[in-house]
Amino acid sequence: MKEVLKRISDTIWEIPISYKEGMRVPARIYGTEKLISELDEGVYEQVTNVATLPGITKYALCMPDGHFGYGFPIGGVAAMDVEQGGVISPGGIGFDINCGMRLLVTNLTYKDVKPYIKTLVDRLYERVPAGVGSSGFVKISRNEFRQVVEQGAHWCVENGYGWNEDLEFIEENGCIKGADASKISEKAIDRGFNQIGTLGSGNHYLEIQVARKKDIFDPELARMMGINTPDQVVVMFHCGSRGFGHQVATDYLQVFLKVMESKYGIKILDRELACAPFNSPEGQAYFAAMKCGINMSYANRQVILHRIREVFSEIFGSSPEDLGMEMVYDVAHNTAKLERHVVDGKERSLLVHRKGATRAFAPEMEDVPYPYKTIGQPVIIGGSMETGSYLLVGVPTGDQTFFSTAHGSGRTMSRTKARKTWHGDTLQKELQAKGIYVRSTSARGLAEEAGGAYKNVDNVIEAAELAGISKRVVRLTPIGNIKG
């Protein structure tokens, strides 16, 4: 397969439309030569399948952390022209709708936190439920849950789970407009209404981190995002819409499979790319339901933020305000959003699917929060629990990917192989010896998330920066971690 790749630059590789019958646009994969050499073959098939979807514009894209997924590769980006028959596809969004990252700062340093790290992690492990099927402490009725999925983080703030100013630092201000609870199934509500404030399982985590002076690449940008003290402690977490989002995706995949060919004459190369025209009744119903998944996830992360503030306040005997526990940003990486982008000199209305990819808007773009208007949207990219994570910003040259970038380090090994390679209990001891205290719901789950099962996050970030799709600001080192 690699022999058909055309090298566009040191970090951009293209598969021409001649590679596969039905491709409407070329496919482009981002990565250094090293990352491309390690890429699993399935990504090539998936990204070129995406290139056959109706309405796709310019390119089918795969980010530097790309790996095999469901339908789209994880790290996949595709922009559909909704005025030219563009489709919407759950496989291009993901089952965990609005899986995303949230980062908050503190005015504490590593020296302040080090004596309490075990207590902090243990207490957070108690307060933020993790693992498959975990339930949160927010007890609401099914009807109240319908309000949550239409109001997102706003519902949380109105009910005492956060500060008004938090909303400014969330994509869509914590509530995407157009969510319609009448478009979601009772089964989806069953799976979601008791899961607000929970991490879930898999690669989801809550991590206490340190911004070491040597890892600040742009001190001025870091300062503008609240990181201005040597060895400053921050908290990052990664989770999504849990079983609710999974059920929404499952429901509409079945709907699309029934109508896609019989009603709309759309033929696809992979059933996992089931889709419908965006402007069809089915497409619009899924779009409204998917937005409910986005809002549920914003609410989920908002309640987790509230619990983190509670724990730090209790342990350090100061209010969250006095501890400087302010949000940096909350970014999504499993969404489809209607955006205006310039393509071939003309502004067009595009539905941008980002599946395991992060929006990375440039300075002065609409929807970049006012405090960051001059520097670009913050981008939060998580690495493995053994390595580190990054805070970046969007850049003007990001227009080549519809202002999208990577979302993580990206798996290189299946969960099954990881379990055979590492033992969770041994791994936990090894991490503690490195100064990282970890709690996990299972040794099996910990083994699945071993650092060696992922690409080197530094290589991924280097590729994203060299390609001009985001800019490094700070590297963040883990000292405490809770795994789902």
Residue 89 tokens, joined: 């596809």
List all residues 6 or more positions away from 222 whose beta carbon is below 8 Å from its beta carbon: 211, 216, 228, 391, 473, 474
Contact 95, 70 (CB under 8 A): yes
Contact 245, 191 (CB under 8 A): no
Query: Residue 439: beta bridge partners?
Result: 482
Residue 152 tokens, joined: 């997102």
Report helix, strand or coil for 39.
Answer: coil
Diameter over CA atoms, the chain: 65
Region of residue 387 (left: phi > 0; alpha: psi -120 to 50; beta: else): alpha
Catalytic annotation, residues: 407
Region of residue 411 (left: phi > 0; alpha: psi -120 to 50; beta: else): beta
Q: DSSP per residue over 65-112, as a string?
A: EEE--SSSPEEEEEEEEGGGT-EE-GGGT-SSTT-EEEEEEEEEEHHH
Query: Residue 478: beta bridge partners?
Result: 209
